[in-house]
Chain A
């Protein structure tokens, strides 16, 4: 059986700008796949080509074994696309919005109401979309993308502009969508979001995919040191250097940080001395992966 999505060496140029420059990847059925990178990396254009909104200059795309371009009406009922939170009919209530979208797919009003309930907006059904908060509007737009029960869902930066609480609520909803067996493709410029949600990610920059794989594998592949921090003053900096010869030790007056590739003996030694006040242990993150791949700090 072929993969749900097969992208083969696609490229898209706007004038002199190579927005997408030879991108290839596959997404398996049921997978939660993330395309991440800073703004302008080419994530959205890549997504639009797969959705069938744009034609690639070269390369091929297959979704459920079919080409999405030119506009493929057979494919549309099987995919759900969440655009931006503002893509609503003006002056309609939340309930009227989702009912309108439902009827475009031939879905009953009852199913639409259930979907509204599932994203936790049943009590906002009579509220005009202009009056919804950012998180509520995002959830409604996701509900509108899911109302016809698609097998494949595209989410373009679903949490941008949301406060941390709303983001976490939305993450739960997205996990829930994926747990039901749907294939989810997500673009995001939040690396922590990709780490939290995705089975596999592709890191994009300047129109190219730099690396793909499960977030944990990418991070482990870095072979980056683990950073162990304790409260400054718990242990003298000189003593720490003496104890952990192969580690990098620094003290910024707030925390004493020991960066080591062998965290177990370090932790044991600290415990032995009772020097565990304010302990925190941090591994590498996707940010470190990005830094290593591009040689520059990650800036969303």
Chain B
């Protein structure tokens, strides 16, 4: 037991004093959280910017309270120079230009940004419909539509990026930690030195696993601590604590990847490259940075074979989607199975020595 403690201390000191390692496992992912959380903070209700040229009775004759309500989603400016206004639409500076000729409302938009075009088209078509109903004297329409978001109403970008970026950070920390320890110690013949000490091989493994788990939990505490700040506004669901077992099992899965990478690499430099080649593509394929819903099926299938995908899915479910603790049992099982299988392969390939 004392040997596990002293080996853990040695590994932990080595990690904390390695500025590069601390930067890439904690500060670098945190920077992305600050960036994503900050940049897209106010993007939940984007306004459509439209220039009105000449008189448009539909807008001009609108009652004052309707105008105020409209200003939440539509930023209307008036201009006289039609050509200049059209040029602005072409350049993408504004979303559309609107004018009226007789009973026809003409909306000029650019198809370059299809989402913006769709939004502004939908907006004006509903305005025209409402105007037609009013003109026909309908005051109480037969059907009304009320949109209601299923998630917590405070749902912002931060809710999506926190589990993804945290998963990426944990994957980086554990994979690199295991690969670098294994390869550096073997390369420096420290593994042989430990083999000549009267300790169990399990103690060496236990120390590395223990330190990685502590690092992962610290990463989690820092990420959640920053994300729940009012500025970023992360709101945790009731069973968010269920992400702790997810992080623990996930860390084991990434450690096993690191051990496997470490069995192939001869030098610390090579281990670094291999770990990078694994972690970064895995982060993209697992939806850690952006959702993969629109990705081709085969790409999603690749993602499903990677542990990070299941960690991110699981954490999103219990952290922000408000699912019950039991909902992530499949993810826990998949991560555990991945860790067991990969560790077994790594154990088969394990070498004490370079030669």
Tell me whether A243 is interfacial, beta carbon within 8 Å: no
Given A87-B188, A100-B9, CB of A105 within 8 Å of CB of B14: no
Interface size range on A against B: 20 to 34
Tell me whether A262 is interfacial, beta carbon within 8 Å: no
Tell me whether A252 is interfacial, beta carbon within 8 Å: no
A83 close to B193 (CB less than 8 A):
yes
Tell me whether B3 is interfacial, beta carbon within 8 Å: yes
A88–B197 Cα gap in the complex (Å)? 14
Most chain A CB within a 10 A radius of its CB, from B7, B10, B352: B10
A100 close to B6 (CB less than 8 A):
yes
Chain A residues in 8 Å Cβ range of B199: 104
A76 close to B10 (CB less than 8 A):
no
Chain A residues in 8 Å Cβ range of B18: 90-91
In the complex, residue of chain B having the shortest beta-carbon distance to the beta carbon of A51: B196
B195 close to A89 (CB less than 8 A):
no
Given A96-B13, A101-B197, CB of A87 within 8 Å of CB of B6: no
Chain A residues in 8 Å Cβ range of B2: 103, 106
Instruction: Scan residues 150-187 of chain B and give those whose CB is less than 8 A from a CB of chain A.
Output: 184
B10 close to A53 (CB less than 8 A):
no
Tell me whether B194 is interfacial, beta carbon within 8 Å: yes
B189 close to A76 (CB less than 8 A):
no
In the complex, residue of chain A having the shortest beta-carbon distance to the beta carbon of B199: A104
Tell me whether A134 is interfacial, beta carbon within 8 Å: no
In the complex, residue of chain A having the shortest beta-carbon distance to the beta carbon of B180: A90
Chain B residues in 8 Å Cβ range of A99: 6
Most chain A CB within a 10 A radius of its CB, from B14, B190, B195, B198: B198
Chain B residues in 8 Å Cβ range of A81: 193, 196
Instruction: Scan residues 56-101 of chain A and give those whose CB is less than 8 A from a CB of chain B.
Output: 71, 73, 76-77, 79, 81, 83-84, 86-92, 96, 99-101
A103–B7 Cα gap in the complex (Å)? 9
Minimal beta-carbon separation of B341 from chain A (angstroms): 27
Chain A residues in 8 Å Cβ range of B193: 81, 83, 87
Given A89-B14, A90-B18, A91-B18, CB of A104 within 8 Å of CB of B197: yes
Instruction: Give the number of A-B contacts (CB < 8 Å).
Output: 69
In the complex, residue of chain B having the shortest beta-carbon distance to the beta carbon of A80: B196
B192 close to A53 (CB less than 8 A):
yes
In the complex, residue of chain A having the shortest beta-carbon distance to the beta carbon of B355: A14
Chain B residues in 8 Å Cβ range of A53: 192, 195-196, 352-353
A96 close to B10 (CB less than 8 A):
yes
A86 close to B7 (CB less than 8 A):
no
Task: Report which of B3, B10, B192, B353 forms a contact with A89, defined as CB distance below 8 A.
Answer: B10
A14–B355 Cα gap in the complex (Å)? 10
For the complex with contacts A87-B190, A103-B2, A103-B6, 20 further pairs of A-B residues with Cβ separation under 8 Å are A53-B195, A76-B196, A83-B192, A84-B188, A86-B189, A87-B188, A88-B188, A89-B10, A89-B13, A90-B184, A91-B18, A92-B14, A96-B10, A100-B7, A100-B9, A103-B3, A104-B3, A104-B194, A104-B197, A106-B2
B residues with a Cβ closer than 8 A to A are 2-3, 5-7, 9-11, 13-14, 17-18, 184, 188-190, 192-199, 352-353, 355
A residues with a Cβ closer than 8 A to B are 14, 51-53, 71, 73, 76-77, 79, 81, 83-84, 86-92, 96, 99-101, 103-106
22 residue pairs of the A-B complex, CB under 8 angstroms, read A52-B196, A53-B192, A83-B193, A84-B188, A86-B188, A88-B188, A89-B13, A89-B14, A89-B190, A90-B184, A90-B188, A91-B18, A92-B10, A92-B14, A96-B10, A96-B13, A101-B197, A103-B5, A103-B6, A104-B6, A105-B197, A105-B198
